[in-house]
Amino acid sequence: MSSINSSIYTDRGVNHGSVRPAFNRPLGKLKLWSHVSEIGDFLRVQLSSNLGDQDDRFQHINYKAGQHIYLLGQPFESLYLVNSGFLKSVLYDDLGNEQVLDFPMSGDVLAIDSLHTNYHNSEAIALADCNIIKLPYRNLIKLSHRSEQVERAVFGFFSKELMNQQIRLSLLGKSKAEARVAQFLLLLSNRFLSLGYSGNEFNLRMSRCEIGSYLGIKLETVSRVLSSLNESGLISVRQKKIAINDIDALRNLQSPSSSHCSH
């Protein structure tokens, strides 16, 4: 019953964390996320039945802030289920410019976009210390064949991720900078709340520049909007510490207009 915690570092030093078998660890907050809890339960069944060799297990891996979970171009072999922590996933265009795709948190699955190729199309980097469950693709598929619930969960992840992206698309398509930042804060607030943290006070783990990339605006604009919201009293900003004072007013900042494309 002693905790196994062997740290593994290569000379790269960035894309490995410490590894330990998952069965030492309760799944904690995961029950708040239906898809996650379904997968979580079946992982435990799988693990306790102790089938297969070492490779068949679903490992928990710890990453320190700044470490990569996977790098662009690495061979794809696994999905990653975030158990705890906070990360960013980024895409690079032809010129090497960085585009922040998402800030995954507990309950999110990483690397889905790389599934149809043999290598990773994006990168995931820990912004805070993370505990991540590695889901080797082959094993996950095998497991999904044996359990309809796991299968539904897997498809659910995919579909949900796609819908999240669509909602972001819709955000970037319209709305002004103020509305984007407001929606971003509301998104984080909701997310923290559903994870059992405070929805009114939290820390931004990412830089202004990363927020700007995520929202499609410049870092100066992010800063200006935050200052403006701070002055009007809707929020309180102190560096990376955010407090939401008037959540309803924030919601009302949603962009009022779009075009009709009447039919």
Partner DNA sequence: CGGGGTTTTGAGACCGGTCAAACGCCGTGG
Partner DNA sequence: CCACGGCGTTTGACCGGTCTCAAAACCCCG
Contact residues: a copy of itself, CB under 8 A: 35, 66, 91, 93-95, 97-101, 112-117, 121-122, 125, 141, 145, 151, 155-163, 165-170, 172-174, 207, 209-210, 212-216, 218-219, 254, 256-261, 263
Please name which of 105, 94, 79 lies closest in space to residue 203, comparing C-alpha atoms.
105
Instruction: For a copy of itself, give the closer residue by CB, 18 or 255.
Output: 255
Q: Are 80 and 136 in contact (CB under 8 A)?
A: no
Find, among 127, 125, 95, the residue nearest to 111 by Cα: 125
**CA–CA distance, 21 with 28 (Å, rounded to integer):** 16
Residue 56 binding: pick among DNA, a copy of itself, none (C-beta 5-8 Å cut-off by kind)? none
Structure tokens that stand for 221 in this block: 């604009």
Residues 124-143 that bind DNA (CB under 7 A): none
From residue 235 to residue 254, the character string flagging contacts with DNA as x (rule: CB under 7 A) and all else as - is --x-xx--------------
Buried b (16+ CB within 10 A) or exposed e, 106-133: bbbbbbbbbeeeeebebbbbbbbebbbb
Cβ of residue 185: shortest distance to DNA, in angstroms? 13
Residue 151 interacting partner from DNA, a copy of itself, none (CB closer than 5 to 8 Å by kind): a copy of itself
In the block, residue with structure tokens 């915690």: 5
**Binding residues for DNA (CB under 7 A):** 176-178, 207-209, 216-224, 226-227, 237, 239-240, 257, 262-263
